[in-house]
Structure 1
């Protein structure tokens, strides 16, 4: 059972909905808190501290509760997944939020199922999508094209917006590959696998930060209170609770139900960005959101 859900909870259905609510709300809020965390601090550095700290806490908890030490092959497999999901995908998203509003970043991230279906079709599983899923794929791509208008009328740029869009696409590709590889590699038990992924992903990200950003190991002492508060929130709620809840759902719930997070998170992110980060909800962005989310819903319904 997920360690973040009390052992007193007896109903599997209640456990399921607690985990779903956790992923819906907490992961939807991470975009805003990553924005707060990196407003005044280097994004890769802060993301590395978030992931490595959460991974260390989770690993110590797993060992304390009796989870055996994984074999070397399992360490390597979980580490590879961590690099794909967290070093590349999470790191790219953290940097992208310097250029793209949180609401738009969440919408573009919601297109991950499109990449998973494409890669599973052409490479990993050679599984042809159903007609409903292909329809959703086409609709989702139309929605993305609406967001990527060269005129910049859909959302106000925070800098070089195309840098942010490119980084989010890199994150989506890496997340899709990591997701598909997870089913083919020998991984340890859920809890310690999540811990290793965060530990390895965070430490590799820290190395990248040391090379590319003007930081030291003690730069956290220069962080403003707002950034520290956002970092603490992301460690506890975004990583330990949210990531663990998602891992539990991935092993205990139907894929169609788990995948619904992809179209709930952007709604949460858009509302929080509008309420707390002064981000505008334009007619164009809302239309693009509806088109993208419609495509993701069809993909979820059409999965074989």
Structure 2
């Protein structure tokens, strides 16, 4: 869900800049904890589907009511394809993976997206060799991942096998998100808000179909959801999907890319703190070392971008 940037845009107001930056830092960092709360006692794919169908309907309706042109069939197809890759596959894997690993660890693994982007753009999409500094960051990031998920050091409610399953699912989700990100400039998409609405509607509908096949749910299972799950879903719809996205889109148009990229460093820290404080998540000493090493790798990759 990228916004088109304009090189001729005026310098942003500093207050707006920091307000939107803090919004992305805190709100997106908190989404991992609320995904955990939302899916504690409800099937994860079903709750992902409901979340995105509601958020997508609101965004699409808002865009049309404020005068955005009706998308063409090709734009629907392009945005819908992204919705399946980014939301059904990537966020679906994340929601399931959080059942097996602490939300803070899931956020840290998600923060390693630059590792996937760098590798895919090198070997497939762009065929561009990264700078030496970025390659050093890639190596450091991979070491951090190893330290973070090394089976004999993992702490949590599940066994080692569960943690490896969760890590694998989140890795697949990150890989899908990287593919979708690199696909975006190659697709014919409508304006940012209506494009995101389509992505959420199509991704939510696809998630619902998969959920109805694989999970013990019906269309009306949301009526049986506990209050904590409903409240968390509402939080994710408003603060994660709508406000958080709006802040990110504003930053994509008005902030330097290097500044915008810092959310990948801050979100995992916010998520780990919230998970420790409010979900009783436990991290071993080695996991914290792995977290620090991984973030150093992401910083080096960001600084090494040509």
- The alignment's TM-score, normalised by the length of structure 2, stands at 0.93
Instruction: Give deviations 1:11-65, integer Å, cap 9, x for gaps.
Output: 5333332222111111100110011001110000001100110010011011111
Residue 204 of structure 2 corresponds to residue 202 of structure 1: yes
Following the alignment from structure 1 to structure 2, what is the Cα–Cα distance between the partners of residues 95 and 80? 21
Q: Which residue of 2 aligns with 1:142?
A: 143
Q: How does 1:237-256 map to 2 (within 5 A)?
A: 237-256=239-258
Q: Which residue of 2 aligns with 1:18?
A: 19
Deviation at 1:279, TM superposition (A): 1.0
Instruction: Give deviations 1:107-138, integer Å, cap 9, x for gaps.
Output: 11111110001111111111111111111110
In the superposition, relative to structure 1, how do residues 53 and 191 fare at CA in structure 2: closer, same or farther (>3 Å)?
same
CA contact (8 A) 1:98 1:158 kept: no
Deviation at 1:247, TM superposition (A): 3.0
Q: Which residue of 2 aligns with 1:158?
A: 158
CA contact (8 A) 2:151 2:164 kept: no
What is the SS of the residue equivalent to 1:41?
coil
Following the alignment from structure 1 to structure 2, what is the Cα–Cα distance between the partners of residues 89 and 259? 19
Q: Which residue of 2 aligns with 1:84?
A: 85
Following the alignment from structure 2 to structure 1, what is the Cα–Cα distance between the partners of residues 111 and 196? 22
Q: Which residue of 2 aligns with 1:267?
A: 269
Q: How does 1:111-130 map to 2 (within 5 A)?
A: 111-130=112-131
Deviation at 1:154, TM superposition (A): 3.2
Q: Which residue of 1 aligns with 2:101?
A: 100
CA contact (8 A) 1:194 1:247 kept: no
Following the alignment from structure 2 to structure 1, what is the Cα–Cα distance between the partners of residues 189 and 197? 12
Following the alignment from structure 2 to structure 1, what is the Cα–Cα distance between the partners of residues 259 and 187? 23
1:173 maps to which of 175, 178, 199: 175
Following the alignment from structure 1 to structure 2, what is the Cα–Cα distance between the partners of residues 244 and 212? 33
What is the SS of the residue equivalent to 1:303?
coil
After superposition, the CA RMSD in angstroms is 1.5
Instruction: Give deviations 1:86-124, integer Å, cap 9, x for gaps.
Output: 111101000001101111111111111100011111111
Instruction: Give deviations 1:201-247, integer Å, cap 9, x for gaps.
Output: 11111111011001011101111111111010001001111123223
Following the alignment from structure 2 to structure 1, what is the Cα–Cα distance between the partners of residues 236 and 130? 35
What is the SS of the residue equivalent to 2:151?
coil
Following the alignment from structure 1 to structure 2, what is the Cα–Cα distance between the partners of residues 244 and 80? 21
Q: Which residue of 2 aligns with 1:5?
A: none
In the superposition, relative to structure 1, how do residues 142 and 203 fare at CA in structure 2: closer, same or farther (>3 Å)?
same
Instruction: Give deviations 1:237-258, integer Å, cap 9, x for gaps.
Output: 0111112322333343332222
Following the alignment from structure 1 to structure 2, what is the Cα–Cα distance between the partners of residues 212 and 243? 29
Following the alignment from structure 2 to structure 1, what is the Cα–Cα distance between the partners of residues 255 and 32? 25
Residue 224 of structure 2 corresponds to residue 214 of structure 1: no
What is the SS of the residue equivalent to 1:183?
helix
Q: Which residue of 2 aligns with 1:300?
A: 302
